[in-house]
A and B are shown apart, each in its own frame.
Chain A
Amino acid sequence: MFGIGLLKGLFTTLKNLFGPVFTVQYPNKKVGLLGALKFHKKTPANFIKTQPKDFVKSLAGLHEVPEYPDQATRFRGQDFNWFEDRCTGCASCAKYCPLGIIKIETKPSTRDAKEGSSYDIDVFDIDIGRCMFCGLCVEACPFDALHMGSGFERANEKRNGLVIPVDELRTAIKTPSTWFRPQMENKNYRPKENDAEIKDYRDIGRHEKPSDDELTERWVNER
Chain B
Amino acid sequence: MSTELVTMNIGPIHPSTHGVFRMRVTFDGETIIDAEPIIGYLHRGSEKLAEERTYTQIVTLTDRMDYTASMTNNQAYILSVEKLAGIKPAERGVWLRMIAAELQRIAAHSVAIGFLINDLGAWHTPLLYLLREREKILELFEMMCGARITNSYLRPGGVFMDAPDEFWPSLNRFLDEMPERLNDIENLLTDNEIIVSRTQNVAVLNKEDAINASITGPMLRASGVDWDLRHRNPYDFYDKVSFRRPLGTVGDNNDRYLVRLHEIRESLKIIEQCLDLIEPGPIKPEEVPFLVRPDEGDSYVPIEAPKGELGFYLVSDGGISPFRCHVRAPSLMNLTLLRDMVIGYKIADLFVTFGSVDVNMGEVDR
Contacts and interface: CB of A to CB of B under 8 A. Distances in A.
A binds B: yes
Is chain B's binding surface mostly helix, strand, loop or mixed?
helix
A6 B146 contact: no
Given A73-B164, A132-B60, A140 B188 contact: no
Contacts of B90: none
B150 A72 contact: no
A185 interface: yes
Contacts of B192: 5-6, 8-9
A9 B143 contact: no
Contacts of B129: 16
A155 B338 CA distance: 40
A5 B290 contact: no
A134 B191 contact: no
A74 to B, nearest CB: 4
Interface stretch (A122-130, A175-183, A207-215): A175-183
Contacts of A182: 161
B208 to A, nearest CB: 33
Interface string A173-203: 0000101101001000000000000000000
Interface residues of A, number: 35
Nearest to B155: A139
B42 interface: no
A121 to B, nearest CB: 23
B125 A13 contact: yes
B124 to A, nearest CB: 12
B280 to A, nearest CB: 14
A72 B193 contact: no
Contacts of B152: 134-136
Interface in B291-313: none
Contact of B146 (A13, A16, A74, A140): A74
Nearest to B132: A22
B144 interface: yes
A11 B150 contact: no
B60 A98 contact: yes
Interface string B176-211: 000000001001111111111000000000000000
Contacts of B184: 12, 15-16
A169 B277 CA distance: 44
Contact of B164 (A15, A22, A70, A74): A74
Counting chain B residues whose Cβ lies within 8 A of the other chain, the interface size class is 35 or more
Given A134-B60, A140-B290, A180-B160, A12 B146 contact: no
A22 B135 CA distance: 9
A66 interface: no
Nearest to A76: B146
Contacts of A73: 164
A131 to B, nearest CB: 11
A148 B142 CA distance: 14
B226 interface: no
B360 interface: no
Interface in B52-102: 53-54, 56-57, 59-61, 63
B187 A8 contact: yes
B145 interface: yes
B147 interface: yes
A135 B189 CA distance: 41
A133 interface: yes
B47 interface: no
A2 interface: yes
A70 B146 CA distance: 12
B248 to A, nearest CB: 19
B51 interface: no
A134 B160 contact: no
B236 interface: no
A74 B188 contact: no
A6 B125 CA distance: 14
B321 to A, nearest CB: 11
Interface in A132-182: 132-136, 139-140, 148, 177, 179-180, 182
A182 B147 CA distance: 17
Interface string A1-36: 011111011011101100000100000000000000
Given A70-B139, A74-B164, A9 B189 contact: yes
Nearest to A22: B132
Interface in A49-94: 70-76
Contact of A96 (B57, B143, B146, B190): B57
Contacts of A71: 142
A12 B57 contact: no
19 contacts: A5-B191, A8-B187, A15-B184, A72-B142, A72-B143, A72-B164, A74-B144, A75-B147, A96-B56, A98-B53, A98-B60, A132-B60, A134-B60, A134-B152, A135-B146, A135-B152, A136-B152, A179-B161, A182-B161
Across the A-B interface, the 3 shortest Cβ-Cβ residue pairs: A5-B191, A74-B146, A98-B57
Interface of A: 2-6, 8-9, 11-13, 15-16, 22, 70-76, 96, 98, 132-136, 139-140, 148, 177, 179-180, 182, 185
Given A15-B184, A98-B60, A98-B61, 15 more contacts: A8-B191, A9-B187, A12-B187, A16-B184, A22-B132, A22-B135, A71-B142, A72-B139, A72-B142, A74-B146, A75-B147, A76-B147, A96-B54, A133-B147, A180-B161
